[in-house]
Amino acid sequence: MRRIEARKARRRKRMIRRLVIIMSVIAVGVIVGISYSYYEYTAGKKAAEEEMDEFQTEEEQEQNEEFREEFQGDESGDGATNVLLVGKDSSGGQSNNTDTIMIGQYDPEKETAKLVSIMRDMYVEIPGHENNKINAAFAYGGPELLRKTIKENFDINIDYYAMVDFKGFESIVDTIAPGGLEIDVEKDMHYQSNDGLVNINLNAGEQKLSGDKVLEYARFRADNENDFGRVRRQQQVISAIKDQMMSFTGVSKLPRAVGTLEPYVNTNMETGTIISTMTDYFRNTPSQIQTMRVPVDGSYQNEYYDHAGLALEVDFDENTQKLKDFLSKTDANVETAANEDDQNEDES
């Protein structure tokens, strides 16, 4: 009997020792993983910050901090996250101009990713201001007023915002695609603005473009498609960047990628939220990004206003309903850009 009890006691001790060893290995692995992630994140962020300091002024940095403090996002509900995406042009001292307004949505439960392009020339109600084009809301009050304007006109809640300066956009593309981002340029694109700040020179064909050339492609509108073609190309570029990100990094490289890209993006999302969301996205990547454009075909007409110039007068009831349907459905239909007959010739 004593021998049996002794054997049982020795087995218990061996099991305890094994358990201690296993728990120690797990603890060491967690510590190493956290340390590695932190090192990679800070290394990537430091390198990007050094480059960003070369083109971002102290005034712009202070303005970005004000944007973060002022933004009052509302939860979109149903497990999905809606992010207001803004492309900002700081060239020539025009720090409050934007020609890119989008809503990005990711729903981890439905495993869907959606992208809504909002035409910048839509004539809308702007809280606290005279009615104007929707991009004027950003000029008046940054991301927060733009969020309120979208809520006022389309009844859509937005959780977060992410704003990228065009120079930062170029750096992001060059970071994730050092050999160039593969884009099929559908036609020759040549244009120079009167002030010389915009100079686009692209030849037709499938090719790998550096960040500055990708920006040229996304901004081009000097054809009969005008802003409608630009919106289509912007969605094409976003999809190409997503595909490149998937090949550029896996979960193990995610901390450095986030650290590298973070300084170029002004957002009210916490770093932990960004990493957890991106990690979930990489593990459950949607097969495609579903896209929509607002206003939808047949729901708008050109109108001229003395204070705003040529703008899009839209049917808000129709567009609000279709936008809500698009963001709430699992099998949302893809809205394509308008055809060549749908033009808006406003060059302001």
Q: Cα separation of 28 and 22, whole Å?
A: 10
**Counting every residue, how long is the chain?**
348
Angle at 253 between CA 251 and CA 256, to 5 degrees: 125
Across 43-52, 225-234, 313-322, least confident range: 43-52
Q: Mean pLDDT over all residues of the chain?
A: 83
Question: Greater confidence, 49 or 299?
Answer: 299
**Token pair in block for residue 159:** 């959780």
pLDDT value at 224 more than 60: yes
Establish how many alpha carbons lie within 13 A of residue 165's alpha carbon, considering only the half-sphere containing its beta carbon: 23
The CATH architecture that domain 55-328 belongs to is 3-Layer(aba) Sandwich (3.40)
Q: Find the mean pLDDT for residues 95-116.
A: 87
Q: What are the distances in angstroms from CA 149 to CA 89, 129, 131, 322?
A: 20, 10, 10, 18
At 168-218, the pLDDT tens digits run: 888 888 888 888 999 999 999 999 988 777 899 999 999 999 999 999 999
3-state secondary structure of 119: coil
Question: Greater confidence, 347 or 221?
Answer: 221
Position 235: which residue type? Q
Structural domain boundaries in the chain: 55-328
**Burial class, 87, CB count within 10 angstroms (exposed 0-12 / middle 13-18 / buried 19+):** buried
Q: E-strand spans in 70-225?
A: 81-89, 97-107, 112-118, 123-124, 132-133, 160-165, 181-185, 189-192, 199-202, 205-209
What is the per-residue pLDDT for 341?
Answer: 38
Contact 118, 134 (CB under 8 A): yes
Q: Which of 25-34, 276-285, 300-309 has the highest mean pLDDT?
A: 300-309
Q: CB-based contacts of 30: which residues, under 8 Å, 6+ apart?
A: none
What is the per-residue pLDDT for 343?
Answer: 41
Contact 290, 334 (CB under 8 A): yes
Q: Which residue has the tokens 């020795």?
A: 10
Q: Cα separation of 145 and 138, whole Å?
A: 6
What is the per-residue pLDDT for 38?
Answer: 64
